[in-house]
Amino acid sequence: MLLPLATRKSRRVLRRADVTPAEWSDWRWQLRHRLETVEELSQFVELTDDERRGMQLAPALFRVGITPYYAELMDRAHPRCPVRLQVVPTAAEAEVAPGEYVDPLGEDALTPEDAPCIVHRYPDRVLFLALDRCAIYCRHCNRRRLVGQESGIVARAELEAGLDYIRRTPAIKDVLVSGGDPLTLSTEKLAWLLGELRAIEHVDILRIGTRVPVCLPMRVDDELCAALKRFHPLYINTHFNHPKEITDEARAACAKLADAGIPLGNQTVLLRRVNSDARVIEKLNRELLKMRVKPYYLFQGDPVTGTDHLRTPVGAGIEIMEHLRGRITGLGIPHLVIDAPGGGGKIPIGPNYVLGAGASEWTLRTWRNQTVKYVEPAERDCACDYPLE
């Protein structure tokens, strides 16, 4: 899929110091002024030859788009800046490694023919793809085959088809609204969609997946929070990958959402040289908890085409989890998972604390590598006889 970069005939002013506070804090201004060209990126970083080559290749691979706010977090001189690595392409994106897929999670095969916005992997929940636009375009994106379209708009008829599918499928109890990033929709359109979903009697909870608090925190305003409060129980999972992304603005955005009664979780993707070190994940998770954001998932990178250079060995994630256990509160320990290629769903992985399982006792190890015995109870009947209502 060819995703053309916008061309610019004249230099745009994009830095915070060069615009008014009103412009900088306007989320629509931020979206209109996303960095998409070498000239624009050069206002923020000293591009390497590898990055310049990546920008040349990008139109045939995956769109570049970085909000000025997020661009200001990049280290101008250091090419391994963890923010820069997430959004500035390199030549390695053009390489296809063994085991990589255009659609790594097999979502297209899980989409009903008459409901193109729906991905139905698990019996009781669906993914609702509400739009094809994000505030920024992450180089590790597992849905790069879909997102980054010029308009980002999904036709109303397709949204209605998705709603109809959920209405006629009573097994669905949980709807995750994603895309693209749902919080880049207008408040009016997002409220309409959530209202239609909340009106479906068998839908118990709604969830939103978003990176807006990370890269466009000014979007989380009073109007948005007042709208979201109407649709409880509503949960939001965001996507912080590095402590450098946790700014005063990000803290304020998460505080507004939490104060609106919305439980917040975080889904971190393990990325080589971004956060592939236990110290980075520990610091990130401590900072998240201070913002009332629960570390929820730590994802092994999905094997999407062109991302081999960003993915970590599975063992790196297991070592990180080994470090976290016992050194940070259980609230700060996420689930380490691999989302199975081909659509098999999330597979939890991690250190093995079971050394042996016998008929009467188990042999376990602690986080300090001490061996302990756990004696099984004499009674084994675990049936629950009291009737459920």
Are residues 93 and 62 in contact, defined by beta-carbon separation less than 8 angstroms? yes
Confidence of residue 13 (pLDDT cuts 50, 70, 90): confident
- Is the pLDDT reported for residue 103 higher than 70? yes
What sign does the CA torsion over 155, 265, 339, 308 have?
positive
Residue 131 and residue 148: Cα distance in Å, rounded? 10
CB 362 within 8 A of CB 374: yes
Check: CB of residue 218 under 8 Å from CB of residue 247. Answer: no
Whole-model pTM: value is 0.94
Domains of the chain, first to last: 16-94 (no CATH), 108-348 (3.20.20.70)
The band of 3, judged by pLDDT with boundaries at 50, 70 and 90, is very low
Residue with tokens 């989380």: 220
Mean pLDDT over 12-23 rounds to 92
At residue 152, the pLDDT reads 67
Q: Is the pLDDT reported for residue 4 higher than 80?
A: no
Catalytic residue numbers read: 121-122, 125, 134, 138, 141, 143, 302, 339, 346
Cβ neighbours of residue 57 closer than 8 Å, sequence gap 6 or more: 89, 91, 93, 94
